Amino acid sequence: MDAVKPVHELTPRDLPFVELNARYYDDPAHQGYVRALPTRVPATSVVGRTLRVAIVGSGPAACYAAENLLTRTDSDVEVNIFERLPTPWGLVRFGVAPDHPDTKSVSRSFERLSSLGATFYFGVEVGRDVSVDELTAHHHAVVYAVGAANSRRLDIPGSDLTGVHSAQEFVAWYNGHPDFVDREFDLSAERAIVIGNGNVALDVARILGSSLARLAETDIADHTLAALASSNIREVVVLARRGPADAAYTLSEFIALRDTSGIRLRVEDRDFAIGPEVRSAIAATHSAVEVAKLEASEQLMHAGAYGGNSVTLRYLTNPVALLGDQQVSGIRVECNEADVGPGGDVFIRPTGLTEDIDCGLVFYAIGYAGSPIAGLPFDGDRMVIPNDEGRVREALSGKAVSGTYVTGWIKRGPTGVIGSNKACAQETVNSLISDYQAGVLPEPALPSEAVPTLVERATPHAFGYEGWQAIDRHERARGKRANRPRRKLVRLDDLTATALTYRHPSVPR
């Protein structure tokens, strides 16, 4: 994945990483390590018993949990994975941008789960088709890895105007998520606004600004290619409340946007004139990576005019209101400024100066939020299932819910990258195994053989991993004919019909 190169192969574009690498080792106070987790719970044999675990969801958090369980040497484990959609891998398929194939390639490591012994049940929604109690009755433990599929609400005047959308909707639409295939986005305006500056915001800006020829080489959904063919968007403005050193995006995503052919990335220099006092405070209080973000942004402040599409990053800019009668026609923003507090920390304050920016399309990328599952406790403030090291607990009493665990975003909130889920899953599995070996997990009320019967009764159109493999082969074959990695099936009926030609043998016809 081009992540490791010898020095003699580095290009000028790689130089920021060279300096960043040097700073990393010069700055041990900002290494950013998380606390170490034990790789295994000390082995305690549970003679004559097979631990049976259900995992709800099939995204990275679910897959890392399944892998951890199935490769253990201290317990004999049976894993059943339940996924409501006809396809696995969660945000790897529906969240990672189509022009990031290296990031998507993590799914290849998940493909071995079936050979490790995991049984997949696609088209089964827990809480609707199968209840929490039914799943619990068939397993020693249930791990919920359902992610955080909703967007946090944009709470400013005008957020309900036509033409205002969550970035999550747009991302799911261009990635071919079946729930979003019929969404419509008016791309007739010349300027779009993206509120927020995390990786998702940069993804949205990059997709809107990319050439059709570039996107046609990816697995972006066909309906998105057709819509973008008639797009009039020429400028995307990305708004951030704080300065570049505090940007939520990763440096690698910034560089990916900067290096995208056909897009001129520019920065409004008027938005963050940083004086020497603020700069010194940033150097003293921020990590080397954060300082590198500041410097990378400053290098773009004086970018000139460009004939193609542009993405403009505006820092220290706070959205105040969206303008328009029924259709959004602009956004009012307030300018912020950076200053240094008595303790040396950098803080942001509003200046009271406002500006109106014309636009015809607005996306807000201000974070994701989890959803409650019927039968489980839920923390409505943090939008997660309350837990302690993955053990689900009642929201009010704090009492552990026996045999019930969480991992991923529904456990910790929407933070981190795909790889962050590995340590998160490991912590949860360690808790689960510890409880199992301590004898606190009750035996399932029903035998292992009852699981396929439960699924068949709940939803006759469920299928297993062979069904997904049929979908995968079909999509890749369609893509090959068009010189693309794959052409996704996007409608539930088409996906299910393709999958049911190869049903999982454990799911009766």
Half-sphere exposure of residue 235: CA atoms within 13 angstroms, side-chain side? 16
pTM, two decimals, is 0.88
Same domain, 348 and 212: yes
CA distance 503 to 509: 8
> What is the pLDDT, as a whole number, of residue 34?
42
Give binding residues as ranges. 61, 83, 91, 126, 197-200, 241-242, 253, 409, 416-418
Are the C-beta atoms of 54 and 138 separated by less than 8 Å?
yes
> What is the pLDDT, as a whole number, of residue 48?
55
**Where among 367, 389, 408 does a domain terminate?**
367
Give binding residues for FAD as ranges. 61, 83, 91, 126, 409, 416-418
> What is the pLDDT, as a whole number, of residue 9?
45
Same domain, 337 and 376: no
> What is the pLDDT, as a whole number, of residue 197?
94
Same domain, 472 and 459: yes
Same domain, 385 and 337: no
CATH code of the domain in which 360 resides:
3.50.50.60
Long-range contacts of 437-441 (CB under 8 A, 24+ apart): 437/41, 437/44, 437/46, 437/74, 437/75, 439/46, 440/402, 441/51, 441/140, 441/141, 441/402, 441/403
Give binding residues for NADP(+) as ranges. 197-200, 241-242, 253, 416
Give domain status of residue 7, yes or no.
no
> What is the pLDDT, as a whole number, of residue 272?
59
Sign (positive or negative) of CA dihedral 117, 123, 124, 126: positive
Give domain status of residue 430, yes or no.
yes
Structure tokens at 218: 């990816």
Distances (CA, A) of 223 to 185, 229, 269, 411, 498: 11, 10, 37, 34, 19
CATH code of the domain in which 414 resides:
3.40.50.720
Give domain status of residue 3, yes or no.
no
CA distance 395 to 145: 18
> What is the pLDDT, as a whole number, of residue 160?
97
> What is the pLDDT, as a whole number, of residue 275?
79
Written as tens digits, the pLDDT of the chain (509 aa) is 444 444 434 444 554 555 555 444 444 444 443 444 555 554 444 545 899 999 999 999 999 999 999 999 888 999 999 999 999 999 999 999 999 999 999 999 999 999 999 999 999 999 999 999 999 999 999 999 999 989 999 999 999 999 999 999 999 999 999 999 999 999 999 999 999 999 999 999 999 999 999 999 999 999 999 999 999 999 999 999 999 999 999 999 999 999 999 999 999 876 556 778 998 999 999 999 999 999 999 888 766 555 579 999 999 999 999 999 999 999 999 999 999 999 999 999 999 999 999 999 999 999 999 999 989 999 999 999 999 999 999 988 999 999 999 999 999 999 988 999 999 999 999 999 999 999 999 999 999 999 999 999 999 899 999 999 999 999 999 999 999 999 999 999 999 999 988 654 444 33
Structurally, how many domains does the chain consist of? Answer: 2
Three-state helix/strand/coil letters over 380-415: CCCCECCEECCEEECCCCCCEEEEEEECCHHHHCCC
Are the C-beta atoms of 122 and 468 separated by less than 8 Å?
yes
Q: Which residues of 496-505 are buried (b: 16+ CB within 10 A; e: fewer)?
A: bebbbebbbe
User: Range of 459's domain?
Assistant: 51-149+370-502
Give domain status of residue 38, yes or no.
no
Give domain status of residue 163, yes or no.
yes
> What is the pLDDT, as a whole number, of residue 13?
53
Same domain, 174 and 257: yes
Structure tokens at 153: 């609400």
**Where among 367, 394, 427 does a domain terminate?**
367
Give domain status of residue 401, yes or no.
yes
SS3 call for 311 = strand
Same domain, 203 and 352: yes
